[in-house]
Copies of this chain bind each other. A is one copy, B any other.
């Protein structure tokens, strides 16, 4: 992985082995053009000389990078707050899956469109493709970028009009299940906690509305609370909301983090979950099974998602134009809804 201070090159190996560089190149690539015996000898010498190929030079010659840029459009400065375990899991899957295809992962937090690189103001060719993990507030930027550069796969809300490849959970269906579940438990006045400016959350809001409509219930705007993703702020925002009790008897939270924050505030106000209020979250982060009360939530199939994204990106790199995918979600019933 690392450059040694005194780099040994193919030329060195060639000299040691008394052959040409080309032969070394072929031998190390496992080409059948080179005699098995020669190949073995060269491999041996290379190993002993502690030779490691210079990927940079190799890639330059091959006109490839064997690298995929993974971009998490996470707001800057929100350390200790964006800590959604979702990201680690996704990153782990992507790293593994891309690795299987021989690709490295280049991390990025600054999207390609803010061109404030040090030195020169131009974009560099550092990756063969890009994966955006989340569209956030940058939907149109991403669309422009995708149009321009092609090799892009995006995690997020899948919409009919997308002209680039998006992979995402069935947010609408998941939210509908969650809300319907509480309605079936007899809850009537269900609040929505989330940030409807984000497309993914917008879809969850739609599912929430669907469920209410299907039960002939009106949407009470005063129970739709614009709650940020970040757990600290979520707690702040849901603080005054709690005082609306008993105007609500159920909460659909757009994420488990928000659910955890809301429950903390409810308990502090002496309101019992799930006795007084049912709560359902979204994501199924590990903690959600282990906090008390454990959280009923909508499970996102992250592993499958990561695999599909990589599979699709590979398809694009091979010249295909894979279809977007909506991944089904699943309701995990635990304690916070009061079903048990």
Least CB distance, A290 to chain B, in whole angstroms: 5
A287's contact among B46, B123, B124, B231, by CB below 8 Å, is which? B231
B-contacting 9-mer, from A74-82, A135-143, A177-185, A186-194: A74-82
Residues in B neighbouring A3, C-beta threshold 8 A: 63, 65, 125, 127-128
A89 within 8 A of B: yes
Give chain A's interface residue range (CB within 8 Å of chain B).
Answer: 35 or more
A residues engaging B (CB < 8 A)?
1-5, 7, 28-30, 46-47, 51-60, 63, 65, 67, 69-70, 74, 76, 79-85, 87-89, 91-93, 95-96, 99, 102, 104-110, 112, 117-120, 122-130, 149-152, 231-232, 235, 257, 260-261, 263-264, 267, 285-287, 290-292, 294, 302-303
A107's contact among B55, B91, B151, by CB below 8 Å, is which? B91
**Given A28-B122, A120-B28, A81 contacting B1 (CB threshold 8 A):** no
Least CB distance, A340 to chain B, in whole angstroms: 13
Residues in B neighbouring A112, C-beta threshold 8 A: 1-2
For this chain, the copies found in one complex come to 2
Residues in B neighbouring A51, C-beta threshold 8 A: 122
Least CB distance, A275 to chain B, in whole angstroms: 14
Q: Give Cα A137 to B109, complex, Å.
A: 30
Cβ A76 vs Cβ B55 within 8 A: no
Cβ B125 vs Cβ A7 within 8 A: yes
Known: A3-B63, A87-B88, A105-B106. 15 other contacts (CB 8 A): A1-B69, A1-B149, A2-B112, A2-B123, A2-B150, A28-B122, A47-B122, A54-B125, A55-B125, A56-B59, A70-B107, A79-B92, A82-B88, A95-B109, A102-B119
Cβ B286 vs Cβ A1 within 8 A: no
Residues in B neighbouring A5, C-beta threshold 8 A: 150
Cβ A261 vs Cβ B232 within 8 A: no
